[in-house]
A and B are shown apart, each in its own frame.
Chain A
Amino acid sequence: MKTKVNLKVDIKVGIEASLIDSDEYNELANQAKQIKPTGGYGHRLESHFSGTLPTRKIGSGMDYAESRVYQAGDDPRFINWRLTARSKETLVKTFHTESSPTMCLLMDRGATMRFGTRKRLKVTQAARVATLLSLVARQNRLALSGLILEDNSNSNQWFPSSKNDQAFNSLFDVVSGACLPVVSNAVKVANKTTNKPTDQSQNWQLVLRNLSDKNPAGSLIYLVSDFLGLGAKHQSTLEALQAQHHVIAIHIADVAEQSLANNGTLRFKDALSNTLYQVESGSNKQREKFQSRAKNHQQSIKQLFEDRGIPFISVLTTDDNLAPIIPLPLEAL
């Protein structure tokens, strides 16, 4: 199946350039072809009426699954007369249900994602993952919806579930749009900007509820983020989301978030609070302490998802080939 590509050529350079250029897009399109849905289906239906994807679920459909003993209430039209004659038991035909599932992408473009020390920023890697997944969705005729998470909850953008190319392009434009550097709160105040960032914890709460409510039940939801701001208070919301949908968490991280290089005295500024921290990176003890804390931090995020039965996949900013990392578990739908 050919994927119609209607990519805009972005001539902007520097910090205003798109996160994904045409070469990167083509590379991702090639990687998308390598991602096969897990589950191994017999064939794909061409009909667009009842659903595009065969499922293992038994129900109304046109793909014969098996015959079973007639039970009260079964539609007599589906009695398998030949088998009934041979087995001397009344048997009825059952069919695989055909569904039209939705893939939903949540992409985090917040302040903490605008960080990277190797190859690319976290937000660029997140844009690559989101683009790859949207291409996979088109390949597999899945409806695609999207939610772009920004620092300010009012700036979050929702893209309703759709299969047409225009909706795909709109989502791609936002996903790959330029991501300007973080402006400190002090500068915002000086510029008389009133657009203050929302508390990330509240924003996540809001977003998870939106994902749960706005997507049709049973959707495949990918959360692409560094999950900073997500914590124990979101456990119940995540459980509710996972109960209605199939959620996959893709954690985007940079090497500098796992270990600290020996670069002498460094001053770091927290992207959310602007608090300054001075670190002696020349000290083995300090580096080991940071590594240990960073590991615990990532472990706690992983635990948060895995305890709720949500698969947790970690992607580094240095990972070029995403195809082997990103799963497409359509059998779960």
Chain B
Amino acid sequence: MENYQLHWLTPEWFILLPMLWLYLFWQSKKQAQGNTQNQEPTLALAMRKTSSFYHPLAELFTEDEPQKASKNRLSLWVALIISSLIIALAQPILRGEKLPDPPPERDIVFLVDTSISMQLKDYQVDGVAISRMDLLRQLLDKFASRMNGERISVIIFAEQAYKLVPLSNDQNLIRKMLQRITTSLAGRYSDIGSALLLALQEAKKQELQLESQLQSKQRSKQRQSQHKKRHQTFILFSDADESRGKVDVNAAAALLAENDIPLFTIAIGGSTSKNKETEGGLYHSVNMQLFDDLAEQTSAKSYRVENSDTLEKAINDISKLRKNLALQEPQYIQISLYFYPLFLGLLLLFLRQLLTLVGNKR
């Protein structure tokens, strides 16, 4: 117990204490004035005291000294009871050692292409041809499971871009949501530029929310600056040969670079249509040049899914990125003490009622 110190969780309640004592002081003054003989009350007082009654023998109620003393005692009782309750509301605690902070984390945004071309069966697993989307789902699941402890968000895109999962530590949720991704979920063709813009907007929103939270909690300046610079990492999973849409993909990448957000690109699909099943559609190959350019613009790397090494490489590179401090208040070992003043207040109240009852029966 030597290292424990007394702290108050909500010390703002203490502002009521001087107000209470001032009120009681004012009340006692007012009563003293009210008992003064031959004093004409003001009109305001006369209007306020509507609950008083005329009594011809009212002067017989004049209090003697012991009764005045009992009135003072009553004020003291009330003051003690309310003071005890205010102390309980201020939540006194004994604070001990600081608990270790949770491990730092990264904010990773998956940008998943769901265009119609993702149903092309480019890959073979154990001799069975599987679509790009099936491969991508497996890849994402492994990615997410390897990224345990990181905060992951999922944005799907094709003609439109939508946020499927906001930034979350919940692995189960993320993996289940990833399994729900199907082709054509957001349109037919890929608009990478819109997806990058949406992801950037979300990152900015997060930044603003964090800033307002930090201001409201009034953390230390050092801690504020640490949290303010939370880094995000975007990982683009796509098979696009070109970005169609209103937003220029290079301009979007430039914006990311401006905001110091690396964009890792993971290309899915083959480069030629040789021996590929097109499911009756037109085959289009992945444009690696586009992916390389985007990654280069944002000081990141691009990969092409060819074998299991691709995943390892990408994870290794992403793991080298700087982590952010966990969004959590510092935790301490603490013992609550509020029930002591609360019990004292209730005990005083009980005693007061008991004494009143006994006094009335006399």
Contact = CB atoms under 8 A, between A and B. Distances in A.
A269 B54 CA distance: 5
Given A185-B40, A276-B41, A293-B60, A267 B54 contact: no
A255 to B, nearest CB: 12
Contacts of A122: 56
A328 to B, nearest CB: 28
Contacts of A78: none
A252 to B, nearest CB: 10
Contact of A257 (B42, B56, B62, B360): B56
B53 A268 contact: yes
Interface residues of B, number: 31
Contact of A190 (B31, B43, B53, B62): B43
A254 B51 CA distance: 20
Given A277-B62, A294-B60, A271 B54 contact: yes
Contact of A186 (B37, B46, B63): B46
Contacts of A297: 57, 60
Contacts of A184: 41, 46
A189 interface: yes
Interface residues of A, number: 39
Interface in A269-283: 269-271, 273-279, 282-283
Interface in A161-190: 182, 184-187, 189-190
A25 interface: no
Interface string B15-56: 000000000000000010011111111110110010111111
Contacts of B52: 267-269, 276
B52 to A, nearest CB: 4
B37 to A, nearest CB: 6
Given A269-B49, A277-B61, A186 B55 contact: no
A196 to B, nearest CB: 11
Contacts, number: 103
Nearest to A181: B54
B67 to A, nearest CB: 8
A201 to B, nearest CB: 14
Contacts of A279: 61
Contacts of A97: none
Given A186-B40, A267-B53, A275 B362 contact: no
A115 interface: yes
Contacts of B51: 267
Contact of B43 (A112, A187, A256): A187
A271 B361 contact: no
Query: Which of A122, A186, A276, A293 has most B Cβ within 10 Å?
Result: A276
A273 B41 CA distance: 9
Given A184-B46, A267-B49, A284-B361, A112 B40 contact: no
A228 B36 CA distance: 21
Contacts of A151: none
A290 B60 contact: yes
A275 B55 contact: no
B58 interface: yes
**10 tightest A-B contacts by CB?**
A267-B52, A112-B56, A277-B61, A270-B58, A268-B55, A268-B58, A186-B46, A293-B60, A186-B43, A269-B52
Given A270-B55, A275-B35, 17 more contacts: A186-B40, A186-B41, A189-B43, A254-B56, A257-B56, A266-B53, A267-B52, A269-B55, A270-B59, A271-B54, A271-B58, A275-B36, A275-B37, A275-B39, A278-B61, A284-B360, A294-B57
